[in-house]
Amino acid sequence: MPELPEVETTRRGIAPHVEGREIVEVVVRQSRLRLPVPDDLVERLVGARIGALSRRAKYLLVPVQAGEAAASLLWHLGMSGSLRIARLGELPKKHDHVDLVLDDGAILRYHDPRRFGFVDWLQGDAAHDPRLARLGPEPLSEAFDGARLHALSRGRRLAVKPFLMDNAVVVGVGNIYAAEALFLAGIDPRRAAGRISLARYERLAAAVREVLAAAITQGGTTLRDFVGGTGEPGYFAQRLNVYGRDGAPCRRCGAELRLVTLGQRASVFCAACQR
């Protein structure tokens, strides 16, 4: 599933090609996504101009200006979705469901084999949309730190890994990056969130920022179908310390990595390095 670094990589990849461009045509080949494509999307978008793209958690926000009305497209890539830049004359592939054709001949093309993603229309300030309003802070922002994790975890018996993956605590720290951050911080993912000290949470917050920043630099992690906005895969998978490596030796100490299930998600860790 595309996580925060994959969505941020997509934003950075497509932004130079779409920002400031006018939409001259919209092609919807498949409207039955996780949410149906709005019936009036073509009418709303043709003639609109795209503003500066942004990201909130795993959502991509594409602001559009049509006359006096300001609105946004809210895009979610689901489990297998990707947005990439194509050119006029480039034939769509199977599972290429939505095209935004721009005034310079570029096409913003949405591909989603599983159709668990969606594109929705938001009128007015996107921050007030219920899907965004209840989210926690961005992990690379100043609003996220060890003190927040420590304060929100008091009295919680929940294991620290699912606690860290709670979008009300901090957004966009999915299974891959939670596992990697806990390894860097030396914290056992099974440990109760409420029994971790402030000092250890400060190390964990720093590890989250380090892992996510590195993943964005590497273009995300290629798992199954993901590619970035230019069609290139991400390379962070080559740097994974624990995720997907159960039974392999720990890169730090050589001990065999263990696999457990936490919050219905597989979690790999090193019992020697993570306490």
Task: Supply the CATH number for residue 199's domain.
Answer: 1.10.8.50
Of 81, 101, 133, the position where a domain reaches its end is 133
In a domain, 224, yes or no: yes
Is 3 catalytic? The answer is yes
Domain membership of residue 223 as a residue range: 146-269
In a domain, 263, yes or no: yes
Residue 230 and residue 140: Cα distance in Å, rounded?
A: 24
Tokens of 81: 């979705």
Does 112 share its domain with 84? yes
CATH assignment at residue 60: 3.20.190.10
Q: Are 109 and 84 in contact (CB under 8 A)?
A: yes
Does 174 share its domain with 106? no
Of 133, 157, 173, the position where a domain reaches its end is 133
Catalytic residue among 2, 63, 139, 162: 2
Residue 17 is assigned to a ligand binding site? no
Residue 114 is assigned to a ligand binding site? yes
Does 21 share its domain with 77? yes
Residue 245 and residue 105: Cα distance in Å, rounded?
A: 43
Residue 148 is assigned to a ligand binding site? no
Say which amino acid occupies 191: R
Catalytic residue among 58, 84, 109, 200: 58
pLDDT less than 70: residues of the chain: 1, 68-69, 220-238
Does 169 share its domain with 128? no
The number of distinct structural domains making up the chain is 2
pTM exceeding 0.95: no
Q: Are 180 and 240 in contact (CB under 8 A)?
A: yes
Is 49 catalytic? The answer is no
What are 98-126's pLDDT values in tens digits?
999 999 999 999 999 999 999 999 988 88
Of 86, 105, 133, the position where a domain reaches its end is 133
Does 155 share its domain with 232? yes
Does 10 share its domain with 117? yes
Say which residues have a Cβ less than 8 Å from residue 231's Cβ, sequence separation at least 6. 84, 85
What are 232-274's pLDDT values in tens digits?
544 455 579 999 999 999 999 999 999 999 999 999 999 999 9
Q: CB burial class (10 A; 0-12, 13-18, 19+) of residue 168?
A: exposed
In a domain, 173, yes or no: yes
